[in-house]
Structure formats: C-alpha cells, structure tokens
Amino acid sequence: ASAVPLCLQTLMRGDARWTAAPGADGGVDMFHRRHKLVYDGLVRGRTWYLALDFGLACAACALGGVRSKDPTVCTIVAALNVVVLLVAFVLLVALRPHASLADKVQGPFAALCALVAACLSVVPSLRTQALVAGAVAQVAVVLMFVLRAAVLLMELSPAIRARIRADLTAAAHTKI
C-alpha cells in the first residue's frame, strides 16, 4: 500500500499507465525498459508526441539563437518564435498527450505563459511583462517537479511510508 493518497496518485500519474510492448523474445523490449520513465507520463499510443515536442523545442531554440543588430530581423525572429510556440500550445491542447491531470493542466499553462511572454517580447515596450510571464511559466514547471519528486520519494521509501502510517494511526487514536 502506498502512503500517497489515491487521489494524489491519480492526479500525478493519470489512470492509464504506460506499459512496454513485449520484445521478440517475449520479454520486455530493452529500449522500453530503459526509457520507461520517459514514456510513463504519456497516454498510450502518443509516445510519438515526444518527437514532435522535441522538434518544436529545437525550432524555438534555433530562433532564440539568432542575434542581429537590425530591429527588423529581431522583430521577425520574435514573430516566428510566437508562431512556433502557438503551434506547440495548440498541439498540446488538441492532442492531450499526457496521462495525468497534473500534466494536462501544467503543460498547457506553462506553454500558454511562454506564448504570452513571446507575444509580449515582440513589442519592445512590453519586455518587462514578457519576463514576468516567462518567470511564471518557470515557477509552474518547478512547482510541479517538486510535487512529483515528493510523491515519488513517498512512494519509494518504506521508512517514510511507515512513519506516515504511524503518524496517521497515532492521530486517529488521539482524543481532541
């Protein structure tokens, strides 16, 4: 039994857990065994989304690497970045590749914040607001990472599970 409440497990993981396909020898394919954590948060049959997401991230990074002293070039690059981030946001919302509710909410939220930051960065007078929107996206990503790490630690550590169980039992027997 897990020390993590079932509702929190469902929020973090979703109902559909990814399972590896059997290999030619009947065992679990080694590639999937090694990379299960990569695919674990995705809906079954949507593992190809990782390649799409990676391609869009590479495009955004390539655009971010363009440097020019010409303001027209900078504006064009910023507008192209908005287009790439808009495509990424629309695909994330439309395809819903993540299994957990947490990822289904956090992913589009972070993508939307990045998109807003990119839109604001096109206008030179709104660069400060763009930095704020980008920072909000990063904070959302970090908070979800911390929550996931805490849940994973609680699931994996027998000592923590035993301590929580003992505390809950003691609290149940304590009279107020």
End-to-end CA distance of the chain: 28
CA dist 87 and 16 (Å) reads 26
State the sign of the Cα–Cα–Cα–Cα dihedral 137, 140, 146, 147.
negative
Q: What residues contact 81, with CB distance under 8 A and at least 6 apart?
A: 60, 63, 64, 118, 121
pLDDT tens for the chain, 176 residues: list them.
555 555 555 555 555 444 555 555 555 556 556 666 666 677 777 778 888 888 988 998 898 888 888 888 888 988 999 999 999 999 988 888 887 777 787 788 888 888 888 888 787 777 777 788 778 777 877 877 787 677 667 666 777 667 777 777 877 777 55
pTM greater than 0.85: no
Residue 52 CB neighbours (<10 A): 16
Residue 169 CB neighbours (<10 A): 10
Query: The tokens 């590749």 sit on which residue?
Result: 97
